[in-house]
């Protein structure tokens, strides 16, 4: 059994939000991040990008709702006016 995960394994774990680590794998993960500044920085970058994308998608959903609401109002107004 390997006592430490490779940088490649760490990047795969960082990119897979749904992955659940077992107890030993979790210890290996955090141990590696504690000694590898590159993987630690990579993890922070992935987390930042994930938060940014979620924020963008949430903002886009709000904008889309506003656009749809305006379109609905315009359609109702035109139908009411017989246009």
CA distances from 49 to 46, 54, 70 (A): 5, 9, 31
Q: Measure the CA–CA gap between 70 and 66, rounded to whole angstroms.
A: 6
pLDDT tens-digit profile, the chain (83 residues): 688 899 999 999 999 988 899 999 999 999 999 999 999 999 999 999 998 888 887 777 676 777 778 878 888 887 778 65
pLDDT of residue 1: 65
pLDDT of residue 83: 54
pLDDT computed for residue 46 by the predictor? 92
In the chain, where the domains are located: 7-80
| CA 26 – CA 30 distance, rounded (Å) | 6
What is the model's pTM?
0.66
Tokens encoding 41: 């920085």
């Amino acid at each position: 059994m390997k006592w430490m995960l490779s940088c490649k394994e760490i990047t795969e774990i960082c990119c897979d939000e749904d992955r659940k680590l077992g107890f030993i794998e979790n210890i290996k993960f955090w141990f590696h991040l504690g000694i590898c500044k590159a993987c630690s920085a990579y993890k922070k970058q992935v987390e930042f990008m994930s938060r940014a994308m979620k924020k963008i998608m949430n903002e886009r959903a709000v904008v889309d709702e506003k656009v749809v609401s305006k379109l609905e109002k315009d359609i109702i107004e035109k139908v009411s006016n017989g246009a």
